[in-house]
Amino acid sequence: MPESTTAPTGGPGPAASIHDIGYRHYDGARLGRAYARRSLFSQSLRGAYGLGRSARTKVLPMILLAVMCVPAAILVAVTVFTKARDLPLDYTRYAVYLQAVIGLFLAAQAPQSVSRDLRFKTVPLYFSRPIERADYVAAKYAAMSGALFLLTAVPLLILYAGALLAKLDFAEQTKGFVQGLVSVALLSLLFAAIGLVIAALTPRRGFGVAAVIAVLTIPYAAVSAIQGIAFAQGNTDVIGWLGLFSPITLIDGVQSAFLGATSAAPNGIGPSTGAGFVYLLVVLGIIAGSLALLMRRYRKAGL
């Protein structure tokens, strides 16, 4: 081995001896399409946290994950030391408070996941293999959702563990924790769909980052402002419906209707249960529409 590592450019001698090992055919298993889809999923999920990539790409996602977890740890510490009878914050409210961090993570990692393949034209290599368009979209979507779920569920787990440590009521805490998990799962599915469809529109990563941030923050700012005005004018009916127009308030609406959350809207005015169904339908509609757009996007991208 030490000899074979001499520069291969150093004449035919060492290089030729390396070549002479001969070609071996592969007779082992070929695990096919489902395995390839799983491999793409795990590679993309790991990639969202920079695992299996260079050290530089790990920095941002790991910092954001830490930023998500530190407030939870502080809340737990406060609860334990003050011997409070409940956590200072609901499980369902946590992600809403830290939506900026989630937005940053999505803005950074969604383009990383799909724009790169478009920009460096790696997509045709995928489609020249057993996987199909639907497999690619499914794997990328599942990976992005999974990465977001990890980002949002880990702090909830810290809260839950802390609550149990502080000997808070077990049944109540478990119920809240499960509600929180369902809420962040839905949030992850919705955000991943939005983030990927925007990122897949442009092979330029910078545009993707900016566009994702814009889509997450501008509607939220607008909705909040109009809700504030409506509240000031005493027009409380409108407040419940305005939440339909930005991603995070959609999730907020669904969870205040079904998951026992108090709405983040002014004065805690959320949609009624009936309106909650509309919220849920809109969320599912956005997810389905985004996936359909992604499928369409990759129809022409093969080869």
* Smallest separation (angstroms) from other proteins to the CB of 258: 40
State which residue, 19 or 167, has the beta carbon closest to other proteins.
Answer: 19
End-to-end distance of the chain based on CA atoms, in angstroms? 40
Q: What is the 3-state composition of the chain as percent helix, strand, coil, each rounded to the nearest 5? A: 75, 0, 25
- Rounded CA-CA distance 91/97 in Å is 11
State which residue, 51 or 89, has the beta carbon closest to other proteins.
Answer: 51
Would you tell me how many other CB atoms lie within 10 Å of the CB of residue 56? 8
Task: Output phi, psi for 259, to 5 deg.
Answer: -115, 25
Sign of CA dihedral 207, 208, 211, 217: negative
* Smallest separation (angstroms) from other proteins to the CB of 133: 10
- Rounded CA-CA distance 77/66 in Å is 16
State which residue, 23 or 81, has the beta carbon closest to other proteins.
Answer: 23
In this structure, which amino acid lies at residue 282? V
* Smallest separation (angstroms) from other proteins to the CB of 29: 6
State which residue, 16 or 288, has the beta carbon closest to other proteins.
Answer: 16
* Smallest separation (angstroms) from other proteins to the CB of 141: 17
The footprint of other proteins (CB under 8 A) covers 5, 8, 15, 18-19, 21-26, 28-33, 35-36, 39-40, 43, 52-54, 57, 116, 120-122, 124-132, 302-303
In this structure, which amino acid lies at residue 79? T
State which residue, 280 or 301, has the beta carbon closest to other proteins.
Answer: 301
Answer for the pair 243, 279: CB distance below 8 angstroms, yes or no: yes
* Smallest separation (angstroms) from other proteins to the CB of 150: 21
State which residue, 54 or 233, has the beta carbon closest to other proteins.
Answer: 54
* Smallest separation (angstroms) from other proteins to the CB of 18: 6
